[in-house]
Structure 1
């Protein structure tokens, strides 16, 4: 009797195990391509590992392309320099033509993205396509978050001239009511490549 019960229990456990194994594996959704060309790519995807956990975000979210253009054109950064006491004027993250090309695709991506996804972009200089700016955009609490992963050099940087100094580092520069993302509520732990721009 005991042996029969043990056999029956073993069969039940084996059946449950086989049922679980036969279930389709849980895979994340594939990336959704919004736009793809030689100089511009916009894709809905997961935020890469290594960034603070902020999911879910407030997607889908509708922002008119004109509003996205205003945000992109307002973004500036400070470039580091190897010269002591040297100062430089803030530089634009995007040129006006880049902002006009990128804004409609980001607007579309934000309106389609699910709450656990962000809009990733890559935009290149038309004349020098090897110079790329890449990053991520999403909306949280009525604010646009923009992370710059790689910043293209302006055309005059990196050229072999006697008067140019290489840029060693850079950081986004908030303007108006923009601010840098901070890991802590007291404002400490700012991430200099992550800027927040309120929509109101």
Structure 2
């Protein structure tokens, strides 16, 4: 069962629809009282980081997410959902979930058109299972003004060039995120979501 975290994000329905198209059962998780057994979690996101964190807090989803990650449940953040995985965002000077080390700075609009919008290439940086069986460089759909800056290069899964290279996919085997919208990225996006649902397995922890 795929748990999709529902805190009012604008791309909630399209993510849900994509998972259904792939044939995986899913459930909306609207607050921290959910007791449903799940295999993976998806944190979608469109909007403002500060407001998103407020909604997550009000719904009791922050401790829920932290608890599930501690239990070893794999988590995928999408767009704003990816940015919230990090420690701090420049958008509203917002504290994130801190599940990955790093920050979320704003693009330099003196050099670039902001937001970064449209199709762009994602290059495989570490042969992570999220990009399994995709070309070494695949096009995905982006809409964002802020970007992830993980502290460790080991947390970079995919790279995209927009003036300079930035991390467009980040994480490890259990907490990961993509800056682009796989649910709006055609067959490549569906393949990435299928890879997450198929290969992201619960982390086995010893007592």
TM-score normalised per structure 1: 0.23
TM-score normalised per structure 2: 0.23
- Higher alpha-carbon Rg: 1
